[in-house]
Amino acid sequence: MIVDDSGLLRRVVSRWIDAESDLEVVACHANGKQAVDDVAQSQPDVIILDIEMPVMDGLEALPLLKRACPNAQVLMVSTLTKRNAEISLKALELGAVECMPKPDRQSEIVGVPEFQRELLWKVKGIARWRARPAARPDGFAWRAYATRPPRAVVIGSSTGGPEALVRLLKGLAPSLSDVPVLIAQHMPPIFTAALAERLSRVAGVEAVEAQDGETLVGGRVYVAPGDGHMTIGHGAPPHIAIGNGPAVNYCRPSVDLLFDSAAKVFGGRALAIVLTGMGADGAEGASQIADAGGSVIAQDLGTSVVWGMPGAAVRAGACASVLPLDAIARTAAQLIAGKRPEGRA
Question: Which has the closest alpha carbon to 307: 91, 62, 136?
Answer: 136
- With cut-offs at 50, 70 and 90, classify the pLDDT of residue 175: very high
158 is catalytic: yes
Residue range 219-245: mean pLDDT, rounded: 94
Strand partners, 46: 73
| Higher pLDDT pick, 104 / 222 | 222
> Which CATH superfamily, name and number, covers 152-336?
Methylesterase CheB, C-terminal domain (3.40.50.180)
Return the pLDDT at 111: 66
- With cut-offs at 50, 70 and 90, classify the pLDDT of residue 114: confident
- With cut-offs at 50, 70 and 90, classify the pLDDT of residue 295: very high
Q: What gap in Å lies between CA 143 and CA 124, rounded to an integer?
A: 32
Residue range 327-332: mean pLDDT, rounded: 96
Give the Å distances, CA to CA, from 81 to 85, 102, 195, 297: 6, 11, 13, 34
Question: What percent of the chain has a predicted confidence (pLDDT) above 90?
Answer: 83
133 has pLDDT over 60 = no
14 is catalytic: no
47 has pLDDT over 60 = yes
Q: Tell me the per-residue pLDDT of 24-40, one tens digit each, with 9 for 90 and over.
A: 999 999 999 999 999 99
Active-site residue, selected from the candidate residues 78, 88, 158, 287: 158
Return the pLDDT at 109: 76
CATH of the domain spanning 2-131, picked from 3.40.50.300, 3.30.750.24, 3.40.50.2300, 3.30.300.30: 3.40.50.2300
- CB-CB neighbours of 9 under 10 Å: 21
Tell me what the pLDDT averaged over the chain comes to.
Answer: 93
Return the pLDDT at 128: 80
Q: What gap in Å lies between CA 18 and CA 5, rounded to an integer?
A: 20
- CB-CB neighbours of 109 under 10 Å: 17
344 has pLDDT over 80 = no
- With cut-offs at 50, 70 and 90, classify the pLDDT of residue 107: low
With beta carbons less than 8 A apart as the criterion, state whether 301 and 275 touch: no
Question: Which has the closest alpha carbon to 300: 344, 257, 340?
Answer: 344
129 has pLDDT over 90 = no
Return the pLDDT at 345: 66
119 has pLDDT over 80 = yes
Active-site residue, selected from the candidate residues 281, 287, 295, 304: 281
Q: What gap in Å lies between CA 282 and CA 288, rounded to an integer?
A: 10
What is the SS3 assignment for the chain? CEECCCHHHHHHHHHHHHCCCCCCCCCEECCHHHHHHHHHHHCCCEEEEECCCCCCCHHHHHHHHHHHCCCCEEEEEECCCHHHHHHHHHHHHHCCCEEEECCCCHHHCCCCHHHHHHHHHHHHHHHHHHHCCCCCCCCCCCCCCCCCCCCEEEEEECCCHHHHHHHHHHHHHHHCCCCCEEEEECCCCCHHHHHHHHHHHHHCCEEEECCCCCECCCCEEEECCCCCEEEEECCCCCEEEEECCCCECCECCCHHHHHHHHHHHHHHHEEEEECCECCCCCHHHHHHHHHCCCEEEEECCCCCCCECHHHHHHHCCCCCEEECHHHHHHHHHHHHCCCCCCCCC
With beta carbons less than 8 A apart as the criterion, state whether 23 and 72 touch: no
Q: What gap in Å lies between CA 128 and CA 257, rounded to an integer?
A: 27
23 has pLDDT over 70 = yes
Cross-sheet strand order for the sheet of 220-223: 206-209, 220-223, 181-185, 152-157, 270-274, 295-299, 321-323
Residue range 319-344: mean pLDDT, rounded: 92
Q: Do domains 2-131 and 152-336 have the same CATH topology?
A: yes
Task: Please state the domain extents for the chain.
Answer: 2-131, 152-336
Beta strands 239-243 and 229-233: pairing type?
antiparallel
Least confident of 110-114, 163-167, 224-228, 332-336: 110-114
- With cut-offs at 50, 70 and 90, classify the pLDDT of residue 136: low
Q: Tell me the per-residue pLDDT of 303-327, one tens digit each, with 9 for 90 and over.
A: 999 999 999 999 999 999 999 999 9
272 has pLDDT over 60 = yes
Strand partners, 273: 155, 297
281 is catalytic: yes
With beta carbons less than 8 A apart as the criterion, state whether 282 and 290 touch: no
- With cut-offs at 50, 70 and 90, classify the pLDDT of residue 138: low
230 has pLDDT over 80 = yes
Q: What gap in Å lies between CA 256 and CA 17, rounded to an integer?
A: 31
Active-site residue, selected from the candidate residues 4, 88, 157, 186: 186
